[in-house]
Structures are given as C-alpha cells and as structure tokens.
Structure 1
C-alpha cells in the first residue's frame, strides 16, 4: 500500500519563504548593484511602489520608473541608484535609501535621500555612508520610520535628519498606523510583530506569516504572504506588547491570490486601491484586492528585497 504524506501547510511554506527572503535581504547589501538590462523595457528587482496623484512610481535596482498609458516603464530622472527602501509621504515627498549606481561615486550606503519633484532630482537628507534602509514608512505626524537591514534595527526620526535607535529585530517590512502614529507593524519569520510605543518594543511576531504589509488608511491594512496570497487586516486593539493569539491584536482575513508568483512589494492607497509587485508584473486592484490588472511587466527579481 502506498503511503501519502501531507505536504507543508500554507503557513509553513510562507514562513520558509520569508526566512529565505530575510536571508537574501541581509546578504544582498554586499553585492554591487548592476544596471537593469531586462529585455523589452521590462523592470526587474522591484523594491518599492508609490503613488502621487494617479501616477504610479516603481523603485527598482536601477532607479525609479513610471509606466506610460501602455504600461511601458520610463526612468524618472537620470539616477540609476539601487533604491532598496522607498516611500511617498502624504505630502508627496519621495524618501528612499539603498546604494549608489556603479561608478557614481559616494559612499556605499545612501542613507536617507529625498526628492520633492517626483523623483526627477534627489538630495541627501541624512545618514549617508551609515545606513541602508530596506523599508521606510511615515506616520500621520510626519515621523519617519526606517528599518536598518544591515544592523537589524528600527530607526525613527521626527524630521528625517535626527534619528533615534529603537528596537532591534529581524524583519522584512514595516507599516505605520495612519490613525495612531505610535503603532508599528513588522513582518517577521514567526508572524507580524506589533508595537504600540513607536517601535521601542515589539510583541513577538505571531499569527499570520506575511512578507509585506501596508496601511493606507485606518480601515485599509493589507498584507501579502510569500505565496502571493493577499490578506486584509483588522487591528482589534487588544495587543498589549506581550503578544496575542491573533498576532498582537491583529486579525487577518484572506482576500485573493495576486497573479504572478512571489511578491516583491506592496503599497496600499486606500481601502479599494492596492498595488502589488510580483515576479511577472506590477498589479493594481481597484476593488479592495478581489481582482487585479497588470500595470507593468516585470522580469526576474525573484528574491524581492
């Protein structure tokens, strides 16, 4: 008689995928970024997505790009830096971090750089040569949160210039509550960790294992696991800093599977508009993640961040 053994659960698979991604994240910084030579103008190695007005911006291994009406990506400005961390603030300012393009000179780590003209030009904000943020987010009071992947450390700044070191943790992505500036989520190998004191302490990661999280509006929290399954989150407000069965006061409800395989980035604009970069495209939903349309073609970049 043949014996059949069950394969790993979806949660175990997602946890393994996140573990591998975290390992790649912590080792990729030592590799020099290369120019994007993807055929047919397709993008690869996407690290972040942002929206200003109705325009989509895609941060990659080779600068920031924006698609035209036919989905053809065009580089914004002339910088070809490897933007590992990227976010667009509520006021429309672009913040990024990562590594300079080969041959451009300067320190190996960009620190925090800023653009006030939608990515056409950039200037140094702080921490040049010191920090490579792999995830950036801002709170409603303009506080900047950055995950320093090299040192496994959350850093927080009221103005993007002066910084305070907060919790040490091993994470891939961050999201800050739009309603409560001190509430911060971090994706870890054991689930989503939650802080209610501005990232000074985190409850242990528990509950749903996710790769990326994004919190667009108070009622628009979404996360995606390593298999491309999109979840909508609810902050139940029961997290106390010591963890709960629902992941420190969080409940996650499955919405749909995003096309294209493993995710590379997630950005939520509001409860209806969700943007996800996967292995073969940047996809947009206008119905809360139930259906998606491909906006841009993507090649390779399997390791995400």
Structure 2
C-alpha cells in the first residue's frame, strides 16, 4: 500500500510538470535572478563539452558555466530561455526555447545551434513553430520532443524533420547503441519505443522525471524525490545508486557510465562514481524548474 501511494504521488507531481511544460504559454514575462550573473534558476539542461571539458548549464536566462571561483558566468550574450538543450559533440550545442524579454524573435525559437560552445547561436529550423522541451542526439540524428504540438520529431540535419508518435512527455532518452529504442517519461511512467519513436508502449512504473542514456548498460533516471536510479538492461530493472541533494530535480545528463550531472532546486551536482556521491558545482535559487 505504501509503495502504491508513493507511485501515485510521483505520478501526480509529474503530471503537473507535464501540464506546465505542455502549456505553450509565453515565458517572456518571467524574470529571475540569473540576469545579474551571480545566481541561476530554472535549470533546463546540462552538458560537458568534449572540446573543453567544461560544464554548461542551460537556464531560463541563458547558458552559464562556472568561473574559476565556481560562480555562474554567462556564456555569450544571449539571455534567452533555453528549454531543450544537448551537447552534440565538440563545441556543438543544440537547443530550443523562447527569446529574452524585448526580443523581436518568434515566441518559439525552434531548433537553434551553436558551434562555439554557446557563445553564439543561429536558427536551424522551425522558428515560430516549435518549442522543444527535450532534445537528444545519437548516431548523427537529432530527437526532439515538441511540447507545442505534443509530438516526437526526428531529423538527420536539423532542418528537415519527420513527425513520429504523438505523446505527452517530460523527457526523452535514446539508446546510444540502438537509436530505434527511445524512452519517454510520462505521467503513467516510462513509455518505450523500439521503432525509432513511431510508436510507444503505454507508460509503466517507475515514474521518473528525467532520463539519460550514457552507454548500453548505463541508463539513468531521477525521480521526483531526487533519487538517482540506474538500469543496466534498458529499463527493465532499476537500482537506486544515490540521492541528489537539493530537492526536486530539474535536469539530468549522464556524460558516461559513471559521470552524471543533475540539477535540483538547490543547484547543479556532479558525480563521477555512478551516483554514489555528489559534489556541488553551482548553487541555484529555488525554482520549479519548468
């Protein structure tokens, strides 16, 4: 009975997050302390750039990286609301979201790309049409969850897109060795596709908030309490490896089988031992993430 109550509570929290993320509302009126450059909030994405090994944090008011003192330092000049965010390799980042207040850019940025580790950005496609709230990159293919229309989209060049399954999801993860296998976190649990996202199974327990697939035997998820789970069999079974400090989760990225980045209300945390322990990389002001 206790486990059932916990599952229901987690589903309810995730359902609220899904509703917020799928609302398609105008985010430009929100403001946060990140504009001062001294603190960050509303963290939406995390990554390590292979080219410089630095941590990059996508937020409601731009992309940040720790300076030499561990304080948030803005990357480039953009103060856009970065929602979906992923590192595609080298210094190449892919993102989506909304323009900063006062900008004349479309309310939904579509897919944008940076080839200089977030210093500058250019529009690739779908400007004004799509807000990707989750992006993943595997074997030269981009996978994006279009929260505006509730559909998974797939592209090999970032310009031409194929619409695949319709679903309500918070996050997606692609098997790095088999890109036809895709997982999506839904209010009912983890939904699975084995045909490249054309169809998904019904969601089943557990009900994590975010998922990230670093290697064939290293699929990670984080639930609404901050517990980090690892699966070595593609999500069939899970084992808790640790708990990320700081409250409710906001983002998760597994860099490799042992290197995990997680953002919670309290900040950005890093583990280099598969989640057994975490070190704080950046502090954050409490927020609801999405």
Could you state the TM-score of these two structures normalised by the residue count of structure 1? 0.90
Q: Could you say which structure has the larger radius of gyration? A: 1
Matched, 1:105 2:104: yes
Name the structure 2 match of 1:69: 68
Matched, 1:95 2:94: yes
CA distance in 1, matches of 2:37, 2:159: 39
Instruction: Decide whether aligned partners of structure 1 residues 258 and 32 sit closer, same or farther in structure 2, where only a CA change above 3 A counts.
Output: same
How large is the Cα RMSD of the aligned pairs?
1.8
CA distance in 1, matches of 2:123, 2:113: 6
5+ residue gaps in structure 2? none
Question: Does the CA-based 8 Å contact 1:35-1:80 persist in structure 2?
Answer: no
Tell me the CA shift for residue 262 of structure 1.
0.4
CA distance in 1, matches of 2:191, 2:236: 10
CA distance in 2, matches of 1:94, 1:40: 21
Matched, 1:52 2:38: no
Name the structure 1 match of 2:153: 155
Question: Does the CA-based 8 Å contact 1:33-1:82 persist in structure 2?
Answer: no
CA distance in 1, matches of 2:256, 2:170: 22
Name the structure 2 match of 1:84: 83
Question: Does the CA-based 8 Å contact 2:24-2:148 persist in structure 1?
Answer: no
Name the structure 1 match of 2:13: 17
Higher mean C-alpha deviation, range 93-102 or range 211-220: 211-220
CA distance in 2, matches of 1:34, 1:6: 38
Question: Does the CA-based 8 Å contact 1:33-1:99 persist in structure 2?
Answer: no
Tell me the CA shift for residue 94 of structure 1.
0.3
Question: Does the CA-based 8 Å contact 1:34-1:62 persist in structure 2?
Answer: no
Question: What secondary structure, in the 3-state scheme, does the structure 1 residue paired with 2:143 have?
Answer: strand
Question: Does the CA-based 8 Å contact 1:85-1:96 persist in structure 2?
Answer: yes
Question: Does the CA-based 8 Å contact 2:24-2:147 persist in structure 1?
Answer: no
Tell me the CA shift for residue 182 of structure 1.
1.1
Name the structure 1 match of 2:144: 146
Question: Does the CA-based 8 Å contact 1:34-1:101 persist in structure 2?
Answer: no
Write out aligned runs for 1:169-248 (5 A): 169-235=167-233
5+ residue gaps in structure 1? 237-248
Tell me the CA shift for residue 185 of structure 1.
0.6
Write out aligned runs for 1:286-305 (5 A): 286-302=272-288, 304-305=289-290
Instruction: Decide whether aligned partners of structure 1 residues 91 and 177 sit closer, same or farther in structure 2, where only a CA change above 3 A counts.
Output: farther
Question: Does the CA-based 8 Å contact 1:33-1:101 persist in structure 2?
Answer: no
Question: Does the CA-based 8 Å contact 1:227-1:261 persist in structure 2?
Answer: yes
1:90-125 per-position Cα deviation (integer Å, ceiling 9, x unaligned): 344100001111112121110000000000000010
CA distance in 1, matches of 2:88, 2:220: 18
Name the structure 2 match of 1:29: 25
Tell me the CA shift for residue 6 of structure 1.
6.2
Question: Which of 162, 165, 174 is the equivalent residue of 1:164?
Answer: 162
Could you state the TM-score of these two structures normalised by the residue count of structure 2? 0.94
Instruction: Decide whether aligned partners of structure 1 residues 55 and 197 sit closer, same or farther in structure 2, where only a CA change above 3 A counts.
Output: same
